[in-house]
């Protein structure tokens, strides 16, 4: 999410929040330059995240907030727990702590069960949808995250296979209760092709997978 701030005309390190002003946190990172001395880069952060653009003359700044930077996100680290799951319930439960990146997780076991779980931190936005920048003055704050137990899931679907290729695949039944919080998806051509091929095969071999790939 992009947040736009009003900066204090006398101090561009102050941004308006609520009825007052907050000071940006600054981190200095040295950047090595070949053949030259290292250059110090000043990185600024608001309560929402890193500042990606600032104009002191215009008294404006923009910062980005992402679940990737939330405490405990630890991208992919929860995969260690996921790989130790020995049942679909354990697999789904291990994904409750998966924060970022948001992904489709697929499951198969030696007993023949197959499953699918959507995993990722899903911010609740009570008064906007995240499509456009919003003021960073406190009027547009996340209200925590959607309960992972409500994320879409499937176990042993009737078609006998699970296919996902980064396309929009949130079930209509789920969207009747929850709003999609993601708006950018890959074209569904790959997903349609995979489903068309698997859908006409009574069985699928390693050679079939190689040919499809």
pLDDT at 181: 67
Q: What is the pTM of this model?
A: 0.86
pLDDT at 182: 74
pLDDT at 76: 85
pLDDT at 123: 93
Sites in the chain below the pLDDT cut of 70: 180-181
pLDDT at 135: 98
What is the dihedral angle through the alpha carbons of 85, 88, 93, 95, rounded to the nearest 10 degrees?
80
Q: 64-67: which pairs have CB atoms within 8 A and are 24 or more residues apart?
A: 64/1, 64/2, 64/3, 65/1, 65/3, 65/142, 66/1, 66/100, 67/99, 67/100, 67/102, 67/120, 67/121, 67/123, 67/145
pLDDT at 153: 95
Tokens of 157: 């679907």
pLDDT at 78: 84
pLDDT at 184: 82
């Amino acid at each position: 999410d992009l947040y736009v701030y009003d900066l204090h005309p006398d101090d561009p390190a102050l941004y308006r929040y609520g009825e007052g002003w907050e000071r940006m946190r600054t981190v200095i990172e040295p950047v090595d330059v070949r053949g030259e001395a290292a250059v110090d880069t000043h990185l600024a952060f608001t309560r929402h995240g890193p500042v990606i653009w600032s104009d002191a003359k215009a008294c404006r700044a923009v910062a980005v907030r992402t679940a990737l930077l939330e405490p405990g996100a630890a991208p992919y680290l929860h995969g260690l727990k996921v790989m130790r799951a020995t049942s679909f319930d354990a697999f789904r439960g291990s994904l409750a702590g998966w924060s970022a990146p948001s992904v489709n997780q697929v499951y198969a076991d030696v007993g023949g069960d197959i499953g699918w779980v959507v995993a990722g931190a899903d911010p609740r936005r009570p008064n906007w949808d995240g499509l456009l920048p919003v003021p960073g003055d406190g009027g547009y704050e996340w209200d925590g995250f959607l309960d992972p137990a409500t994320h879409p899931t499937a176990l042993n679907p009737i078609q006998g296979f699970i296919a996902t290729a980064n396309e929009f695949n949130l079930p209509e039944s789920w969207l009747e209760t929850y709003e999609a919080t993601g708006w950018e998806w890959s074209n569904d051509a790959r997903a349609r092709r995979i489903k068309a091929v698997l859908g006409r095969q009574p069985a699928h071999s390693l050679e079939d997978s190689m040919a499809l790939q």
